[in-house]
Each structure stands twice: as C-alpha cells, then as structure tokens.
Amino acid sequence: MSARTLAFAFMLACAPVFADAPPELPAGWSDGWALANGIRIHYYRAPAPGKPVLILAHGSSDDGRCWTALARELQGRYDMYLVDARGHGLTDAVREGDVADAQVEDLAGFIREMRFDKPILMGHSMGASSAAWLAAKYPDLLGAVILEDPGLLPRNYGASSAADVEQRRHETLERNNMTFDAMVARCMENTPMWGYEECRQWAPSKLLHHPNNAYRRFGDRPSMEELFDKTTIPTLILKADAPPDVRKQNVAVAKHLAKGKIVHIDGAGHNVRRERKAQLLISLNEFLDSL
C-alpha cells in the first residue's frame, strides 16, 4: 500500500462522516452581488467596517469560499471580500470571445462599483495573474498587491482546436455532475495534507466551475517582467518551493518591481496557503503590518 493511500485512509478514519451539503458561511459573514464590466459578480464578505479593505481573488476552478481558512486568520483586521471570478462560483459565465484581460477588468470594475479606496488585493494562481495585471494597468486603483504562487516564468500557450475546447467543456460538465461527497473524497485522496475542512470548502467550487472556462484566452497576456516594470505599489510574492535554479529565475523577475519582495515557502506546492499556511502567514502578516 502506498504512503499516500495510507495517509488517505488515516485521514478518513479521523474525519467526521462526510456531510451531504456544503458547509455554511462562518458566523457573521454574508454574500452579495455587484454589476461590473457588463456582468453580475458574486462575492462573500467577512466584515470589519472601518478596517482596510482586502479583496481575495481565487485560482482557476476555485471560488471565493476557497479563501475561508485564510480569511479566518485575518478576520477582524480587514474588511474582506472573497470574490467569485467570471465563470466561477455564482458569478456570470465566461463568454466565447472574451478578451484575455476580462477578469482584470472585472476586478477593476468591482473595485470602482464598490467605491473602495485603494484596497489591498491578494490573488492565487489565476487570481494572482489578474492581480498583477491590474496593478500594472491601473496603478492608482490599489494600495498593495499580494501574489500567491503566480506564474513568473514564460509559458508557451499553444492554440487550442475546437475539438480541444469542446473536450474540456464536457470534462468540466462531468465534474459538475459529481456529488459533493464524491468531490470531498477525491480531494482527500489527492491532497490529504489539506485536511478535511479545507476539502469541504474546496468541493463546491468544482461543482460550480462553468464549462465555458474552456474559452478563456491565455496567449495575449504580457510577461510578468512587463507588468512588474509598470507596477509602483508595494508587492509581495509568495512562491512555492523550487530548486535553486528556478528560485534564482523567480528572484530575477521579481527585481523588476519597484517595491517588491519575493519569498519562497519551503515545502509548499502551488497551493501555498493550503499546504504551509503557518509559514505563509509569517510573511503575509509582516508585509501587511508594513503598509
């Protein structure tokens, strides 16, 4: 029996019996809607009126509630908005023909619609890409930006055929039709180190992930060097662990930031906050306290 299978079996033995419904929002939290950039955007709020606004932008196929564990750590210090991106959660779907920076404009429109004054924006993966692009494109809209494991190095996005797009749409739909319990079980099997509660927060996002995300465009995005050259606000990059040569390349890209800092979190994979939350919080709190 493999080590991962043994770990999965142990986690199941220690976890409560799987529920038949997603977890409720934490006490005092709420959700709402905003019209921005031509779509209806859904968000969750962990309120702290009068405190600095912190917007959390999730990664691909996640949704706003996937930030719950981290938001609980910061609750009371920040007025937090956990936003469902276009095509994710309860926000309107991706449309065929959407421009590459559609999610960037969604976030910019959301900030303007909500009348936020230079909020802090934190993004993971896809959300980090949007956050970095937003900080470069609209330098006066944000107060600071935090990027959880953004892709810093160049990637070759090949063109997708119509057949590839349709296959991805149908694969997503198959996942939409899974039960909540089955999705939690898949999460626990594949990523037991996340823990049962994190998997319960993650599972509903996969059932809501819209098949039209297959239409999203990637090839027209500027490089991170280009974006960072235009970024003037304080920026923290929280990167996954990497070999020395890759770390060196990441640091070289981060040097394009005027007010930037990069931290590689030892032992963390792409989901840094889920795998090494305590270590991430040390760097995150240090940065937030400096603003």
Per-residue pLDDT band at 220 (split at 50, 70, 90) = confident
Whether residue 1 is predicted with pLDDT greater than 90 in this model: the reply is no
Other beta carbons within 10 angstroms of residue 266's beta carbon come to: 9
pLDDT at 60: 98
% of the chain residues with pLDDT over 90: 88
pLDDT at 20: 62
pTM of the predicted structure, to 2 decimals: 0.92
Q: 232-255, pLDDT tens digit by residue?
A: 999 999 999 999 999 999 999 999
Q: 132-165, pLDDT tens digit by residue?
A: 999 999 999 999 999 999 999 988 776 788 999 9
For the chain, domains (ranges, CATH) are 3-290 (3.40.50.1820)
Q: 202-216, pLDDT tens digit by residue?
A: 999 999 999 999 999
Sign of CA dihedral 183, 178, 171, 220: negative
Burial of 180 (0-12, 13-18, 19+ CB in 10 A): middle
Whether residue 3 is predicted with pLDDT greater than 70 in this model: the reply is no
- In angstroms, the CA 165 to CA 242 distance is 31
For residues 249-274, give the mean pLDDT: 99
